[in-house]
Amino acid sequence: MKAETTLEDHPDGRVRRGNATRRTVLRHAVDVASVEGLDGLSIGRLATELSISKSGLFALFGAKEELQLATIRAAKRIYVDTVVTPSLETPPGLGRVRALVSAWLDYSRGRVFPGGCFFARTGYEYAAREGKVRDALIAARHEWLALVEQTLREAQALGELDPDDSLPQLAFELSAFLDGANFESLLGGGDHAYDRARRAIQDRLVSANRGASEPWTDA
């Protein structure tokens, strides 16, 4: 007698289970990588820590490099949802610049990833290497700097920043303040690191606005 096919045995059910497992694994993987780096990931380790079969995980990710790349993509989605999307709800101008900076500081301070900024940790790890993992991290970094620069460009077009100020330079400086706060906080600087970064960014934006100051309401 032929066994009755259940909803869970149906291909759609297996796909749903596979997708749910993949999400669970990647959520754990991004947390591990933010503390120990992408080299800390392995199919065997994740299988043990999540009580999932190694063969099942290998079927989902294959080689370690694909697991690492999938982890970067998962971290990027979390980053966009946490930092980028909420900031873009603020109208263009210096208000949006400050919203973006504040969201980033909250993201690092709130330990969305337990090791601080995922991309800072993994970027340092792969900065001097070659390969697809490094390329993916470089692309994510360039996308972030391009977004910061575009946000500054909008403010400049509205007359809120000095038209002679170099926006690539300003974007670099603001990002450096953020990275510095993240690193300092991990070494025991605590909230003071974020407060100092916020103050430094505010001072830099005031100078770029030819001395005009606007209140940073969430300071």
Give the model confidence (pLDDT) of 55-112 as tens digits. 888 888 988 999 999 999 999 999 999 999 999 999 999 999 999 999 999 999 999 9
Residue 39: count of CB within 10 angstroms of its CB: 13
pLDDT of residue 8: 45
Please list, in sequence order, all residues whose beta carbon lies within 8 angstroms of the beta carbon of residue 9, skipping any fewer than 6 positions away: none
Whether pLDDT at 133 is above 60 = yes
Query: In degrees to the nearest 10, what's the CA dihedral of 38, 41, 42, 48?
Result: -170
What is the pTM for the complete model shown? 0.87
> Class of the 11-208 domain?
mainly alpha
Q: Distance between CA atoms of 160 and 180, rounded to whole angstroms?
A: 26
Report yes or no: 174 and 203 within 8 Å, Cβ to Cβ. Answer: no
Burial of 1 (0-12, 13-18, 19+ CB in 10 A): exposed
Q: What is the mean pLDDT of residues 32-46?
A: 95
Q: Letter for the amino acid at 89?
A: E
Q: Distance between CA atoms of 211 and 188, rounded to whole angstroms?
A: 33
Burial 148-164 (b: 16+ CB within 10 A, else e): bbebbebbbeeebbeee
- Of 205, 212, 210, 207, the C-alpha closest to 96 is 205
